Structure 1
Amino acid sequence: MEAVERESDAFQRPVSVEQIEAMCRRAFGDRTRVARIVEIGVGHYNTTYRIDIEGRDPVILRVAPERAQQAHWDRDVMRNEYAAAPYFAALGTLVPQNLAVDFTHQIIGRDYMFQTLLPGAPASTTLDAYPRSQWPSYYRQLGTITRAVHEVRGDRFGRVAGPGFDTWSEALSDQFRVLAADFDDAGLDSGDVHRVIDAVGTHRAALDEVTEPRLLHGDLWTLNIMLDPDAAEPTITGVLDFDVACWGDPMADWTIHRARQQPGTEVAAFWETYGRPATDAASAVRELFYQARNLVGVQLDIHRRGIDISEVPPIHWDVSDVLARLSG
């Protein structure tokens, strides 16, 4: 096995060769022979391997953290991705197919799934190989893909696997309540998160102008996009990791948040294919809530990775400015 070297107390936990071989036999038959195991160390949550199996195409094995490791926000997100997979059919071959899924915990006390191996390399490590003059092409493709996801309609708000809510304000309040619980468990001050929850009640009318739930990927940016490393210009070949997919306002999606952060750059080409967001007063209020949620999530991620928050510029995690604008 080719494994990633980590500290013994690292969040991502390794899986033994014996366990992986047992998983493969359960998924593909008792005669399955594993030829090679390579851990993929790009992500920060699941432990992921490329498995070469004799007589078949290579597969990807993703193993979730033990449930005791999972925060409230991350609880059972692999099961959420499994539930969401049929709704990403609009992306066709850009998304991996689930080959086998096991939530029994009989072989290992963690959820896991086998998926097809998509061609390409992560855009997070590949896009920089192209001149910036070619980057707009990439962002136009991303705009088209994001629009295709957001055109999928649902019948309730919230995580695809549930719980579901009748209104967007209820779903958003629940998201912040879950995040507040994670702050408390981590020993962080959840006061600002609770103030955002209070603001949801104040601005409920603006939030509930969103009446039609749409599919959100939840984490669609360069880390979860595959590019063809041999193409003459950036060419998207895959979309990964929709484990926090939910039904909500498309403007709340992580992709929209990231695109809005970089006006006047190559990223602006995203809006050429996605379409321009609304700019009315209610939309501006909703955008403040989405900023707050993303900043709160970043602070939790900083904590989970063991990064000293004093070394991170407050603009990347502090929601006080957003709260001031919601109260103004």
Structure 2
Amino acid sequence: MDLPSQALDIEKLLTLVAIHLNVEPVELELVPITTGKHNSSFWVVAPHKRFVLRVAPRDSTGLLFYERRMMRQEPLLHELICKNTTIPVAQIIVANFSRVHLQQDYLLMTALEGVPLSNAPSLSSSGHEQILYQVGSYLRQLHELTAPDCLGIEAYGYIGEHHPMQPQATWAEAFCVMWNLLLDDVVASGCYTLSDRYFMSNLLEQHLAHFDYLQSPRLLHMDVWSQNILVDSTGHVTGLVDFDRAVWGDPEIEFAVLDYCGISQRAFWQGYGRERPKSTSAVIRQQFYLLYEVQKYMPIAVWRRRDQVRALFFKQKSLALANNLL
């Protein structure tokens, strides 16, 4: 998801990182990380060790409703994941959301081994399948974490420290709020008319009975794709990164992202160890979850890429998917 250049002051970043690591700025080097386009990320090359610095976009950047200050939920999520799973995640050394020295949130983390799956084209087909199997296994562990156990509340939706919505008592209520807030973003970007918005909102209302998810809210990553999966040359997953879009709810919405990003292949499901629901209601939910994923690319195309042609493509795709639900 491309963002406009943020013109970060590298010298200021070096000074801040040096203070956190208790070294002199001249002992450090910042090297841009080219994968991942929402945050500005850098390798921090320090004496005898590497770290990762991630700087969130400015609040004035065109952001979806759940993206505003979403980095603020990551420290707790990393803590929960490290404590309760074997998923390889980075240790967060510093989480600074004060905006005192830098008008953006930032994280300083340990550097995980490996490279993004997108940068590992030499992997054999069996190596790729082995990675997808491991991703499935790790996501199964992630989805075993529930809001009551981890947070002490039975609540659904985006309920992290960024507070993009009010927690809801049921998944149907939470998804309805999420759906309509996203529609507001699409309207604000100029891609939907008010008539389009009414049609999409009413479409969900007509099918809301299919969203009776009766289990506890599960922790969902919501951004698992080739750039957020770190791997080594032997076909092992060395890290899952970027949990800032996490939501608590129905795992099926996670699967829609995996469908869209080409992750939900047979090896993934073998690793996940549980069959995907195939009931009539499940099929309807899957279509809405895919629509939720696709519609977000309209405001992203307009606000961040300045690409009206791309926005129109996603509008036409969204309306086609919606018409299949009539």
Q: TM-score, normalised by structure 2?
A: 0.86
Q: Which sections of structure 2, spanning at least 5 residues, go unmatched? A: 148-153
CA contact (8 A) 1:176 1:293 kept: yes
CA contact (8 A) 2:189 2:298 kept: no
CA contact (8 A) 1:59 1:115 kept: yes
User: 2:151 matched to which residue of 1?
Assistant: none
* Range with greater deviation from structure 2 (165-174 or 238-247): 165-174
User: 1:115 matched to which residue of 2?
Assistant: 109
User: 2:323 matched to which residue of 1?
Assistant: 324
SS in 2 for 1:252: helix
Distance 2:75 2:198 in 1: 31
2:177 is the alignment partner of 1:174? yes
2:195 is the alignment partner of 1:202? no
Query: Where do residues 1-328 of structure 1 align in structure 2 (5 Å cutoff)?
Result: 11-29=4-22, 34-54=27-47, 57-71=49-63, 72-89=65-82, 90-92=84-86, 94-126=88-120, 128-154=121-147, 155-161=154-160, 162=163, 163-190=166-193, 191-229=195-233, 231=234, 234-253=235-254, 256-260=255-259, 267-274=265-272, 275-306=274-305, 308-310=307-309, 314=313, 318-327=317-326
Structure 1 residues 321 and 96: alpha-carbon distance in aligned structure 2, compared to 1, 3 A threshold? same
Distance 1:76 1:66 in 2: 9
Distance 2:61 2:297 in 1: 18
* Cα shift at 1:34: 3.5
* Cα shift at 1:184: 3.0
Distance 1:313 1:238 in 2: 35
* Cα shift at 1:221: 1.5
Distance 2:118 2:203 in 1: 35
Q: Which sections of structure 1, spanning at least 5 residues, go unmatched? A: 1-8
SS in 2 for 1:326: coil
* Cα shift at 1:281: 1.3
What is the root-mean-square deviation of aligned Cα atoms in Å?
Answer: 2.7
CA contact (8 A) 2:297 2:314 kept: no
SS in 1 for 2:324: helix
Amino acid across the alignment from 1:291: L
CA contact (8 A) 1:139 1:269 kept: yes
Distance 2:316 2:227 in 1: 20
Q: Percent identity among equivalent residues?
A: 23
Structure 1 residues 98 and 70: alpha-carbon distance in aligned structure 2, compared to 1, 3 A threshold? farther
User: CA offsets per residue over residues 205-238 of structure 1, 9 Å max, x none?
Assistant: 2112344211100101211010113x2xx21100
Distance 2:27 2:137 in 1: 38
Amino acid across the alignment from 2:285: R
* Range with greater deviation from structure 2 (154-163 or 164-173): 154-163
CA contact (8 A) 1:169 1:200 kept: no
Structure 1 residues 137 and 147: alpha-carbon distance in aligned structure 2, compared to 1, 3 A threshold? same
Amino acid across the alignment from 1:296: Q
